[in-house]
Structures are given as structure tokens and as C-alpha cells.
Amino acid sequence: MSLQQELENRSGNACELCTSTNNLTIYEVKPTLIGGGGVDGSLLACKTCITQIEDADATEPNHWRCLNDAMWSEHRAVKVVAWRMLSRLRKEGWPQDLLDMMYLEDDDLRFAKESGDHLDDSEKIIHRDANGAILQAGDSVVLIKDLKVKEASMVAKQGTAVRRISLDHENAKYIEGKVGPTQIVIITDYVKKMAEKE
């Protein structure tokens, strides 16, 4: 059974966030390296929800009143996205009330916090590549110079693609990703964000 079919069966062919039955697609919760991807790390969502998840400026608070039900889902991906969106909207008042009722296991909470939605703008650390493009967890980057990897006798070559990066939430200059089998820390000055189709 395909991932699409599994999610359709699980959700009853409806968006797992707002219950819409239109324009449904798989949404992989980023960063997939930490907990997204597959059935446990994905959900079936409508175009409206996905657009607003991915673009904070497009978020319409009233659309997310649907989370009053979705936040009680038994599925990890749904709970994590519900927590992230409620955290993003908490200044509206009612989302904070729902957050106060919500419970996530420690691992799920760590995963949920990877998006940084729970931080105020003044607290957020913005990661930028060598060209100034904003990097987000789950993005893919390409190395723009050879990098000697500490604690490993290897050099990550210029032009190497590093997929599904994770961000260091304490230092805007550091990201992490896999080069071959090795998980490494990379300085953002030495990477360029890859376009989705690259």
C-alpha cells in the first residue's frame, strides 16, 4: 500500500487538520531527518493548510480554529503540526488556551520545536546561506568550497549536495546534515540553498 493510500485510509480522505476534502496531498513534516517522513511523519492535508504552514505571512488565524479537534489526534505528525500552528498564533489568545490543554511526549515536543514557531520574532535565529537566502529545516544545500571534516579523515567536496538539513537553534552560522554516511556540522557561509527542483 502506498503512503498516499495509507494516509487516505487513516484520514477518511479528509485533511487531517481542517477536514476539508478538496486538493488533498501528502505533507511531510520537516525536518524529515529528525522525525518527519513516512506514515508517522506525514499527514494528508489540503492546499489551504499547507500554504499557511509553509508561509507564516499567509496564515489566517480563524482557519486554524479547526485545531480544537485536530490537536487531539493520535497521530504524531498531526499533533506536531497542530502544536506548531497554535504556537505561531498564540498571541491571538484562543490558541494559547488550546496549547495549555495540549500534551506532547518529550520526543514529539522536541520535534515540534524544530520549526521555531514557539519563539517570538526577537528570539528567532535566522540561518542564511552564502547569498543571504534564508535556510529552513529540511532544505537542501550545496557546498561552495571543499570542507575538511573534523573527527573524520574526509573532505566534503565543493558541489556536494547536503539534503534535509537541520538547524542549530543557538547559532545562526551552524547547520547539520549528512555527507555520505557522516552527520556533520556545516558553517552557513560555505553553502548555497538548492532550488526545490535541483
* CATH, residue 158: 2.30.30.40
- Give yes or no: residues 73 and 135 share one domain: no
- How many C-alpha atoms does 1 have within 13 Å on its Cβ side? 10
* % of the chain exceeding 70 in pLDDT: 89
Question: What does the pLDDT look like over 29-45, one tens digit per residue?
Answer: 887 655 556 888 899 99
- Give yes or no: residues 88 and 35 share one domain: yes
- Give yes or no: residues 34 and 78 share one domain: yes
Question: What does the pLDDT look like over 78-123, one tens digit per residue?
Answer: 999 999 999 989 889 999 999 999 999 988 888 888 776 666 655 5
Choose one of 113, 145, 168: the last residue of a domain: 113
Choose one of 56, 89, 113: the last residue of a domain: 113
Residue 120 lies in a domain: no
Number of domains in the chain: 2
User: Using CA atoms, how far apart are residues 152 and 129, in angstroms rounded to an integer?
Assistant: 24
Q: Which residues, 6 or more positions from 72, have their beta carbon under 8 angstroms from its beta carbon?
A: none
H-run or E-run covering 82: helix 76-88
Q: What residue numbers bound the domain in which 71 lies?
A: 3-113
Choose one of 58, 82, 113: the last residue of a domain: 113
Global pTM reads: 0.61
- Would you give the distance in Å from CA 57 to the centre of its chain? 16
- Give yes or no: residues 95 and 31 share one domain: yes
- Give yes or no: residues 12 and 107 share one domain: yes
Which residue did the predictor score with more confidence, 197 or 52? 52
- Give yes or no: residues 91 and 147 share one domain: no
- Give yes or no: residues 82 and 60 share one domain: yes
What is the mean predicted confidence (pLDDT) over 128-149? 87
Q: How many CB atoms lie within 10 A of CB 189?
A: 11
Q: How many CB atoms lie within 10 A of CB 116?
A: 18
Residue 121 lies in a domain: no
* Residue 160 contacts residue 198 (beta carbons within 8 Å): no
Q: How many CB atoms lie within 10 A of CB 177?
A: 24
- Give yes or no: residues 62 and 147 share one domain: no
State the pLDDT at residue 198: 46
State the pLDDT at residue 147: 85
For the ranges 16-25, 62-71, 155-164, the lowest mean pLDDT is seen at: 155-164
Which residue did the predictor score with more confidence, 169 or 197? 169
Residue 172 lies in a domain: yes
- Give yes or no: residues 108 and 143 share one domain: no
- Give yes or no: residues 38 and 109 share one domain: yes
Indicate whether 14 pLDDT > 80. yes
Residue 122 lies in a domain: no
State the pLDDT at residue 121: 56
- Give yes or no: residues 24 and 77 share one domain: yes
State the pLDDT at residue 16: 96
